[in-house]
Amino acid sequence: MSDIQKTIVVTGVGVVSPYGIGLDCLQAGMLSGKCCLAPTKDLYPGFEGTTAQIHELPLLAEGSRSRYSRTDQLAVVAARDAVADFDCESVAFRESGVVMASTVAGLTEIDPGIAPDPAAWYRRGGLSRAASYPVAHVADAVGEHLGIRGPRCAVSVACASGAMAIALAANLLLDGIAPMILAGGSDALCPFTLSGFNSLQALDPSPCRPFDQNRKGLNLGEGSAVLVLETLAGATARNAKVLAVLRGWAMNNDAFHPTAPQEQGNGLAACIRSSMEMADVSLDEIGYVNAHGTGTPLNDIAEANAYETAFRGRSRPIPVSSTKSYFGHCLGAAGALEAAITIAAVRCGALFPTLRLTDPIESRGVDWLRGEVRRQPLPLAMSVSAGFGGSNTALIFGSVRS
Amino acid sequence: MTPNLPGVTISITGIGSVSPYGPLAGLIPQSKLEPSVITAWKADGLRRAFLVKPFRPADVVPGLKTRRLDRLSAWALVASSLAIKDAGIDLSQVDRSRVAVIFATSYGCVELTAAFYQSAADNGWSGTDPSTFPETLANSPASHVALFHDLRGPNITVGSKGFAGESALLQAASLLRHGQADLAIVLAGDTLTRAVYEWYEVADLLSPACYNSEPLPEDGGFVPSEGVAALVLEPAGRRQVGAETRTYANVCAGRWAAGGQPAETIRQMLGGSVLSLTICTSNGAPCATNATTALAREIAGDGASIIPPQAVAAGLVDTGALLHLILALSTRPGSGQALLLGTSLGTSGDSGFATLLLELP
């Protein structure tokens, strides 16, 4: 394979976030420093907390919307945004693949009434709602809505899902399984996950403070991001505009605990190092890390340790921030949304700070970004994701010139 | 997947399964299997399915603790252990940071998901059970496999309508070909719960054989099934010559799409390959005339050797590919080029397909 057949590029980015639809909207919102987290009471009786909700979604095509869960809808809106400028009648587009991540998927459509008597619940109108339960439905919704017929696959690895979907799509492109792949993640807020994280006492009732010594937990959000990936050869052949280059990716597992990260962050550090080896870049070339940064006590310390280890030997501390401080943790969509933010950072040369970070974790090797947006040329940046079950993923994006 | 990394042959060297045939390492001894009567929940009359008979995982894999886990996680642990044992792999001699786990499921941990909903029904959303919640995640089985065996390579859980098993196989082969892992444990499966069974029932998807004790009919619906099948994949030659290895099959190429022209695409993939066997994997009714078998005939010709979908594997609607393959290898090992072929009708009417070209040594 020649270099341009092995180089994976991003030719489309679609986003639906609490800021609205589109990467520009997300970027402008974050540059303004606006926080979308807000007090929430109505998601289930008795819940009081802080979330970031999307209040307006465009109606999807008549006849298909009823089959879509809220997670599906978010995914379809993001995917449509990603391909807004594409020739949707071209063969390459028709044969595209879809790799979508989700953890919630169709759980948004199901309520506890299903538990005592499932058949009665289905007969009361739940059958088509429950049909959207499998995570694969999210990829099908995107593929069917756009009329594309390449391979479709869903990924569900908890909070690393969105990033892993992008990594797997890149592998599939190298295999030549499709001319382009729409890859990303989508998750909607729902009582199931809110209740679950609440029961684990993982939620901060106030807006979260990732990497702060006084952090108390995470906030949940919702959204979706979809990247269009293809080889540089494919993009060049159809004269596509290249937004960024996916320079490296790596996936691994801590094999440490079902929910807790390994405190020293060794697994995550190994994953980061592997992605840099693949990208063939030095420690000093990475200009920014968009961290997983949930705001939970255990995650953030493990992550800080991972950066210390992975970037040891670097000439200056690595700039790191958590953009979950803007609109919460979007679970299966988080890795994809943060990949989109990392691409935005590279494209506009902006290092987004962590909001509300006043007293950072002590870490000599990390330059915690806080306060104002830092403006500087950013040829290479990394997005890091981790999740329950120990899965880690690191993605390295570069500017077109890189 | 195109064979674009010459010199890298991916071999299937180990098999394990927890299926209605029981927990087994290696091939499954031939025996006729009839659906069992469901007793796990009260039903209005007779209900049958292909069920995994209850067993203690620790009796099969000493030291295994599965008390708080979904059965899907427990079966994944057992099936992976049996496959590793069957492959003759001593994990203490392997760099475990280079071992991947790829798990395919349609419904994930539905048993504990239902329990979580039940706790919400009983106590309200504010009173749900914190110990259950993390075990409801679809990737729990794969992460428990990683944790138990200390496997620190990529850990991936996938779903794909009709083709989750095939998708997992292709992605595992991809990781190995690209040098992102040295060894891959591929698993596929689902558990059958009341909520899943009744969904099929209300959707009118079930075979008459679910409601009476007659033998399986030739067509009309399917009998739900459950279980987890596991395969060990590794690049041929990874282990030293002389090491005790058995190759069940080599993965040569694969194609997978949600629509288009399956026959044309598959012929293109085959090039000049002459098929000695086509193994059909399909959700829905196992019968000689279903869509997958018809496509197999179109590709391989009327006189070709075709194994139609097996009822016990076809009942695993998205995840039966691995069990189909194991059953086919168990009944007709043979040699030469074999095609693993599945089809699925999309909601928009497109016929999706997934296929792998295998070489049987």
Q: What is the ipTM of this complex?
A: 0.97
Considering its fold, how many domains does chain B have in total?
2
Beta strands in chain B (DSSP E): 10-19, 22-25, 36-37, 48-49, 99-104, 155-159, 183-190, 227-235, 249-257, 275-282, 306-307, 336-345, 351-360
Residue B333: count of CB within 10 angstroms of its CB: 13
* Structural domain includes residue B243: no
Distance from CA of A127 to the nearest CA of B (A): 7
Q: Are A242 and A11 in contact (CB under 8 A)?
A: yes
- Picking from A223-227, A249-253, B281-285, B335-339, which range would have the lowest pLDDT averaged per residue? B281-285
Residue B332, Cβ density class (10 Å: 0-12 exposed, 13-18 middle, ≥19 buried) = middle
How is residue B287 written in tokens? 């019968």
> B235, B266, B295 — which closes off a domain?
B235
Same domain, B39 and B17: yes
* Structural domain includes residue B169: yes
A244: pLDDT strictly greater than 80: yes
DSSP element (H, E) containing A366: strand A366-368
Q: How far apart are CA B207 and CA B219, in angstroms?
A: 8
Nearest CA in chain A to B127: A199
Return the bridge partners of A360, or none.
A212
Q: Are B156 and B100 in contact (CB under 8 A)?
A: yes
| Among candidates B164, B178, B199 on the partner chain, residue whose Cβ is nearest the Cβ of A136 | B164
Mutate to test the interface with B, among A121, A122, A127, A199 (most CBs of B within 10 A): A199
| Among candidates A177, A197, A253 on the partner chain, residue whose Cβ is nearest the Cβ of B256 | A177
**CATH number for position B86:** 3.40.47.10
Do the bridges between strand B351-360 and strand B249-257 make them parallel or antiparallel, or are there none, so unpaired? antiparallel
Same domain, B212 and B281: no
Backbone angles phi, psi at A100, to 5 degrees: -115, 140
**CATH number for position B267:** 3.40.47
Alpha-carbon torsion (A142, A144, A147, A151), positive or negative: positive
Distance from CA of B158 to the nearest CA of A (A): 5
Contact B347 A155 (CB under 8 A): no
Q: What are the chain A neighbours of B151 within 8 Å (beta carbons)? A: 253, 255
* Domain residue limits, chain A: 3-237, 249-398
* Structural domain includes residue B5: no
Contact A134 B159 (CB under 8 A): yes
Q: How far apart are CA B119 and CA B131, in angstroms?
A: 11
Which of A35, A145, A190, A329 is an active site residue?
Answer: A329
Same domain, B81 and B146: yes
Contact A157 B157 (CB under 8 A): yes
Q: How far apart are CA B109 and CA B230, in angstroms?
A: 17
Q: How far apart are CA B302 and CA B203, in angstroms?
A: 34
Q: What are the chain A neighbours of B354 within 8 Å (beta carbons)? A: 151
Do the bridges between strand B48-49 and strand A20-21 make them parallel or antiparallel, or are there none, so unpaired? unpaired
Determine contact: A40 vs chain B, CB below 8 A: no
Q: What are the chain B neighbours of A140 within 8 Å (beta carbons)? A: 161, 258, 346-347
Q: What are the chain B neighbours of A190 within 8 Å (beta carbons)? A: none
Same domain, B153 and B281: no
Question: Does the annotation count A159 as an active-site position?
Answer: yes
Q: H helices within A83-187, ranges in order?
A: 91-94, 118-121, 127-130, 136-146, 161-174
Contact B146 A158 (CB under 8 A): no
How is residue B88 written in tokens? 């003759």
Rg (CA), chain B: 20
Establish whether domains A3-237 and A249-398 are of one fold.
yes
Q: How far apart are CA A400 and CA B158, in angstroms?
A: 31
Return the bridge partners of A8, or none.
A231, A246
Same domain, B229 and B302: no
Q: Are B24 and B16 in contact (CB under 8 A)?
A: yes
Q: What are the chain B neighbours of A46 within 8 Å (beta carbons)? A: 124-126
Question: Does the annotation count A292 as an active-site position?
Answer: yes
Question: Does the annotation count A348 as an active-site position?
Answer: no
Same domain, B76 and B218: yes
Determine contact: A153 vs chain B, CB below 8 A: yes
Structural domain boundaries enclosing B308 = 249-360
Q: How far apart are CA B171 and CA B166, in angstroms?
A: 9
* Structural domain includes residue B189: yes
Same domain, B147 and B185: yes
| Among candidates B194, B202, B258 on the partner chain, residue whose Cβ is nearest the Cβ of A143 | B258
Determine contact: A140 vs chain B, CB below 8 A: yes
* CATH 3.40.47.10 at A3-237, yes or no: yes
Q: What is the DSSP letter of A124?
A: I
Q: How far apart are CA B49 and CA B35, in angstroms?
A: 5
Q: Are A309 and A269 in contact (CB under 8 A)?
A: yes
How do the pLDDT tens digits run along chain B, 361 residues long? 444 445 588 999 999 999 999 999 999 997 889 999 999 999 889 999 999 999 999 999 999 999 999 999 999 999 999 999 999 999 999 999 999 999 999 999 999 999 999 999 999 999 999 999 999 999 999 999 999 999 999 999 999 998 999 999 999 999 999 999 999 999 999 999 999 999 999 999 899 999 987 766 666 788 999 999 999 999 988 877 556 788 999 999 999 999 888 899 999 999 888 899 999 987 655 555 578 888 898 998 877 799 988 889 989 989 999 999 999 999 876 789 999 999 876 555 567 899 999 999 8
Given this structure, which CATH class describes domain A249-398? alpha beta
Cα–Cα distances in angstroms (integers) from residue A221 to residues A163, A190, A377, B244, in the given order: 17, 10, 30, 52
Q: H helices within A200-259, ranges in order?
A: 232-237
- As a dihedral over the C-alpha atoms of residue A333, residue A402, residue A82, residue A29, rounded to 10 degrees, the angle is 70
Q: How far apart are CA B204 and CA B194, in angstroms?
A: 15
Same domain, B44 and B137: yes
> B202, B235, B268 — which closes off a domain?
B235
Determine contact: A45 vs chain B, CB below 8 A: yes
Alpha-carbon torsion (B325, B327, B328, B334), positive or negative: positive
* Structural domain includes residue B142: yes
Same domain, B209 and B337: no
Nearest CA in chain B to A63: B348
